């Protein structure tokens, strides 16, 4: 969904249930039909309603920004495993001809991590339930302390807690020498990939 903040909030909130149940029930008069709805949601939005433009060119005031951010409810945001602030490329970066890592190489690494997960637990990491996470993604003491801090300071919901653990499981699986245990570094990176929208906005405005 490109420009996700432009969709009606009701449309977005209606996606919450199917995104967890992986089916959708359509009711018309006396007919109820259950249809499969297993999807991966990828969405993008601008840092602010005017799109940001060149540095210093943003014309949005705080009220504009608040209204824009509020279009995405907390519960829908909470369901995104990865929330990444895409920075504006610098001049040097734009002019540089150095190629990045090729998608084919990244795809191989991802395929290997998926194979590892299937072999270990018979499903992808995103499908691990809370109790199976205890078995297949045990966290070391330092990592556990970080999560405790986030939970105690209300920076992580119960749903977010499980999502962080699944993402951290995948991060460890992507390493060259994956282990069963999840360490603090993986937890920190997973938390960093869950940027808060408000921070993103501020960063977007300043950048
Ligand atoms: Zn703006």
pLDDT of 202 above 60: no
How do residues 105-129 score in pLDDT, each as one tens digit?
A: 999 999 999 999 999 999 999 999 9
Per the CB < 8 A criterion, the answer to whether 168 and 187 are in contact is: yes
Q: Give pLDDT, residue 204.
A: 41
**Cα of 82 from ligand 1 centre, angstroms:** 23
Residue with tokens 């602010």: 48
**Cα of 199 from ligand 1 centre, angstroms:** 15
- Please compute the mean of the pLDDT values over residues 89-111 and round it to a whole number: 88
Closest Cα to residue 134, out of 173, 172, 162? 162
**Cα of 206 from ligand 1 centre, angstroms:** 11
Reported confidence tier of residue 62, pLDDT bands at 50, 70, 90: confident
Reported confidence tier of residue 199, pLDDT bands at 50, 70, 90: very low
- Please compute the mean of the pLDDT values over residues 162-176 and round it to a whole number: 95
CA–CA dist 126, 120 (Å, integer): 13
- Please compute the mean of the pLDDT values over residues 20-44 and round it to a whole number: 91
pLDDT of 200 above 50: no
- Chain center to CA of 59: 28
Q: Give pLDDT, residue 55.
A: 64
Higher per-residue confidence, 205 vs 65:
65
CA–CA dist 18, 33 (Å, integer): 14
Q: pLDDT > 70: what percent of the chain?
A: 93
CA–CA dist 162, 132 (Å, integer): 11
**Cα of 46 from ligand 1 centre, angstroms:** 9
**Cα of 12 from ligand 1 centre, angstroms:** 23
- Please compute the mean of the pLDDT values over residues 63-69 and round it to a whole number: 84
Contacts of 190 (CB under 8 A, 6+ apart): 164, 165, 167, 168, 171
Give pTM, 2 decimals. 0.83
């Amino acid at each position: 969904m490109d420009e996700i903040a432009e969709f009606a909030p009701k449309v977005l909130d209606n996606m919450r249930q199917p995104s967890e149940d992986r089916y959708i029930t359509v009711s018309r008069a006396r007919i109820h039909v259950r249809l499969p709805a297993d999807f991966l949601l990828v969405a993008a939005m601008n840092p602010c309603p005017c799109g940001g433009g060149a540095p210093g060119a943003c014309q949005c005031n705080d009220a504009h920004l608040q209204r824009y951010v509020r279009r995405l409810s907390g519960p829908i945001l909470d369901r995104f495993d990865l929330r990444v602030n895409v920075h504006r490329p610098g001049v040097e970066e734009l002019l540089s001809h150095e190629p990045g890592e090729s998608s084919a190489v990244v795809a191989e690494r991802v395929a290997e991590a998926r194979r590892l997960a299937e072999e270990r637990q018979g499903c992808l990491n995103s499908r691990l339930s809370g109790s199976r996470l205890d078995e297949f993604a045990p966290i070391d003491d330092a990592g556990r302390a970080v999560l405790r801090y986030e939970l105690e300071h209300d920076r992580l919901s119960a749903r977010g807690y499980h999502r962080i653990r699944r993402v951290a499981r995948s991060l460890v699986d992507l390493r060259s020498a994956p282990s069963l245990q999840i360490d603090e570094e993986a937890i920190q990176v997973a938390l960093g990939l869950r940027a808060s929208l408000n921070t993103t906005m501020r960063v977007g405005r300043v950048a």
